[in-house]
Amino acid sequence: MMIVSSFADLLALLTILICLLHRCGANYEVESVDGSGNLLSAKLTLVGGTTQFGPDVKQLNLTASLETDNQLHVRITDADHQRWEVPQDVIPRPEPALEDVLLHSSGMSNASLPGSSTMSSESSDLTFTIHTAPFRFTVSRRSTGDVLFDISATLVFKNRYLEVTSALPAKGASLYELGEQTKRTFRLQQNDTFTIWNEDLERSDLLDINLYSSHPFYMDVRPGGAAHGVLLLNTNGMDIKYGGSYITYKVIGGVLDFYFFAGPSPLAVVDQYTQLIGRPAPMPYWSFGFHQCRYGYKNVADLEGVVAGYAKAKIPLESIWSDIDYMDGYQDFTLDPVNYPAKLLRPFVDRLHNSSQKYVVIIDPAIKKEAAPPQNEAVGLFLQRNGTNYVGRVWPGEVYYPDFMNPRTAEYWARKISEFRRTIPADGLWCDMNEPSNFKAWEPLNEYDDSPYRINNTGIHRNLNNKTVPVSAVHFNGVSEYDAHNLYGLLESRATHDALLKDTARRPFVLSRATFVGSGRYTAHWTGDNAARWDELAHSINTILNSGLFGIPMMGADICGFNGNTTQELCSRWIQLGAFYPFARAHAEKTTVRRELYVWEPTAQSARKALGMRYRMLPYIYTLMFEAHTTGAPIARPLFFSYPQDADTYGVDRQFLLGRGVLVSPVLEAGATTVDAYFPAGRWFSLHDHSPAITLQTGKRVTLPAPTDSANVHLAGGNILPLQQPGLTTSATRQSEFHLLVALAENGTARGELFLDDGESPEMGGMGGNWTLVRFSCNTEDSKGIITTTVSSHVVQNSYAPSQTLVIGKVIFMGLPSPPKGFTVYVNGVELKAAGTKSRTNGVFSVSGLSLVIGQQFEIKVVMSH
């Protein structure tokens, strides 16, 4: 139920209801159209109009350009006044070519206009059509005629209110993403609404409420599996409603700046999307280990005890994290002189490093007022309001907010980080509270402090200034916080990433709570302050899948829950799932019961098994990071990414894939002894015992047993996984020998790849870099009862492996034909005769005792007679 807490809120609610009852729109007619090649432009003139939310803009410019064969850009803006748009230095992108020339050239006037004008290219599957009577535009797929986007004739364009609606197929469109929100389902449901406004909320009790990040992007999957993407590149606050047969945008500023991505596969959509917004940043190898944090670790001795507890329990621990407890009075770049003095903390961090472990600390963006540079040095470093530094309030008390739009502020930030790291060489930085959060009450200053249209902020149409910097604050070059609010987290992430890169010359690790389109170039992300509840465990899958599609693949949730007391069963089930999050970290609030994974022995057992499998799969997961960095492909993926033609996968959101073929089917309910899991057609092998668990001609739901100490994890036939032997750190794991796990499809084929580098060089797989990429393939031939299965490698690049002692010691085949009369193994053409090197158990055939050097091509043949 909506709560109206003030007269202003009541007025805003009445305004919204009036607008819903009486169409708050205007019509535009097309005055002229011109085009050349892959660019079309038009001038629109207002017809009619209303005064609701302010006067309408009288003339608009529209440009449509095919910027690539797979990317269509449609931009509508004020013809007479420049408006706020996402700065080019934040998201570099093509400028509309020849716009001014075309808009003022001798195009067709209104009197001679045809009913529609179309722009298309033989090399593109996207077609743009502008309709003139009345104005609207459509985007369609040229190969099928399928209409992807079709705006209604009612277009609203005011100074601080824009509205546009697109029709969608009444049946058949499956939409995903838009956010950030906690959702019950991954696929959007009819009448889902999304408010785009970065907000500091305790998210644990909130569904369908705007949270820390803003991503006005969605993917639409149509029957048969053809997918496309739609981005509205706009940083202003907005409401988006998905009505099943339509989608409506209500935006409080900026321009209508749409990008359409042709796909047609889901993977192609994210590839095209991240080509525009920026590829995901490569993450250091160590960041794929397991991380432990708690708000409330009292002192250095507490940290030492946690590290020792993990070692004693033989549970992998890659890094220990500090929340604001380590600070002096909660001030950035300081140490508590009693509980975290440098004389104790620095030796502790040095011991971590000597054990190949890491240390990560939190930093909040706000700087305590008294700790800011002198006024003569601080000019322009902080957000301004009413001509002076804006003073807010968060954990340290009264604070200033760095203005990360100003290049000088990024330099200041880098200097502070470097100075702090001279004392405590933290390996990564965790950017929290960067929506930005503010505890101080606000007073109105100007028109920006109360927008004429109230977006549904926090679900009850709260003012934009709720728990944040007032939107009348001003950034560098006079940019208002009203326009740039949703960029704050991205800009801090960029400054932090660049500072770490400069200070360490190594690949940075940054974790940010607030994100926007393109944040994945700089940072990892997590779901924020979740709760220790079963529904939160389930919801984490949807949020993590969304993040991957947004271009931020390094994503996780606080394992075992942050707020509230957890239980042994919930914590055990959470690590069974969380071990397969791309980013795996346990974190808890200081008043809750301790929940490190060794506290309960059943949880410790679950952790050893789940994290043991994660660490064994690290070569595969790290190779997925390389794929994400080079193509945008998510690490954790919905099932329809691999099976887009199977419509039954479109609604699966209690399972997910790691990469192409590792299927995770966790327990998400208390007391469960079985799991109802969906399996697409094909062969599926258990990764726990390599058994051929399931073979299906068509996809179906299967009831699986749910042992108390592990989640169901399966590998799809047709995949080859590179594995290593699990250690207690990623460093120890990287020194072990490799195994290849070959899961044959029914036709006897499989493929996979392995990417290797030092795990910390700034670039990943760049030209001239020091890295190795090997592709593996497997084929099977049947000739007169003699079946030959051949695994071979193809070395794409090999500038890293030669410097290391890296060998494949074992190859395991799953899915070979029924037991043969006899078999012979050839390694690089030489028969393998040594005893104990070949074995077959329960349909699994293994060849061990090998010493195949990574980076050198090889061939293994298994010849079987029947």
Report the C-alpha gap between 249 and 164 in whole angstroms: 5
Whether the predicted pLDDT of 240 surpasses 90: yes
pLDDT at 313 over 60: yes
Average pLDDT, the chain: 93
Q: Report the 10 Å Cβ neighbour count for 80.
A: 10
> pLDDT at residue 401 above 60?
yes
**Span 212-236, mean pLDDT?**
98
The token pair that represents 334 in the structure block: 């300081």
Considering only 269-273, 594-598, 803-807, which range has the smallest mean pLDDT? Answer: 803-807
| Burial group, residue 372, by CB count within 10 angstroms (0-12, 13-18, 19+) | middle
pLDDT at res. 237: 98
Separation of first and last alpha carbons in the chain: 70
445-473: pLDDT as tens digits: 999 999 999 999 999 999 999 999 999 99
User: Please, are residues 621 and 658 in contact by the beta-carbon 8 Å criterion?
Assistant: yes
pLDDT tens for each residue of 638-649: 999 999 999 999
**DSSP class of residue 283?**
P
Share of the chain above pLDDT 70, in %: 94
Query: Cα–Cα distance between 625 and 659 in angstroms, integer?
Result: 10
What was the pLDDT predicted at 549?
A: 98
DSSP category for residue 468 = B
Taking each helix axis from N to C end, the angle separating 618-631 and 601-616, rounded to the nearest 10 degrees, works out to: 60
Residue 33's H or E segment, with its range, is strand 27-36
Per-residue pLDDT of 54-82, as tens digits, reads 999 999 999 999 999 999 999 999 999 99
Please state whether the peptide bond connecting residue 94 to the residue before it is cis, i.e. omega within 30 degrees of 0. Answer: no
Q: Which two tokens stand for residue 58?
A: 């009288």
Q: What is the pLDDT of residues 652-661, one digit of tens each?
A: 999 999 999 9
Beta strands in 680-804 (DSSP E): 682-686, 694-696, 700-705, 712-716, 719-724, 738-743, 750-756, 772-783, 786-798
Q: What is residue 806's predicted lDDT score, i.e. its pLDDT? A: 92
CA distance 438 to 22: 37
Q: Whole-angstrom Cα distance, residue 178 to residue 230?
A: 10
How is 379-404 classified by DSSP, letter by letter?
Answer: TTTB-EETTEE--EEETTEEEE-B-T
Residue with the larger pLDDT of the pair 204 and 403: 403
- Residues serving a catalytic function are 432, 435, 529
* pLDDT at residue 1 greater than cutoff 60: no
Cα–Cα distance between 111 and 95 in angstroms, integer?
30
What is the pLDDT, as a whole number, of residue 92? 96
Share of the chain above pLDDT 90, in %: 86
121 vs 692, which has greater pLDDT? Answer: 121
Higher pLDDT, 377 or 260: 260
Separation of CA 361 from chain center: 22
Contact criterion met (CB below 8 Å) for 459 and 436: no
Confidence of residue 105 (pLDDT cuts 50, 70, 90): very low
Q: Are 444 and 451 a contacting pair, CB within 8 Å? A: no
Q: Which two tokens stand for residue 365?
A: 């963006």
C-alpha–C-alpha distance, residues 677 and 422, integer Å: 51
Cβ proximity of 372 and 397 under 8 Å: no
Enumerate the β-bridge partners of residue 740.
722, 811
Residue 26 has pLDDT above 90, yes or no: no
Confidence of residue 202 (pLDDT cuts 50, 70, 90): confident
Q: How far apart are CA 480 and CA 502, in angstroms?
A: 30
Q: Which of 373-377, 557-561, 691-695, 804-808 has the highest mean pLDDT?
A: 557-561
The answer to whether 828 and 861 have CB atoms below 8 angstroms apart is no
Between CA 234 and CA 244, with CA 240 as vertex, the angle to 5 degrees is: 135
pLDDT of 428 > 50? The answer is yes
Q: Identify the pLDDT of residue 104.
A: 40
Residue 107 clears pLDDT 90, i.e. is over it: no
Tens-digit pLDDT profile for residues 834-847: 756 777 776 789 99
DSSP codes, 538-592: HHHHHHHHHHHHTT---EE-EET-SBS---HHHHHHHHHHHTTSSSEEE---TTS
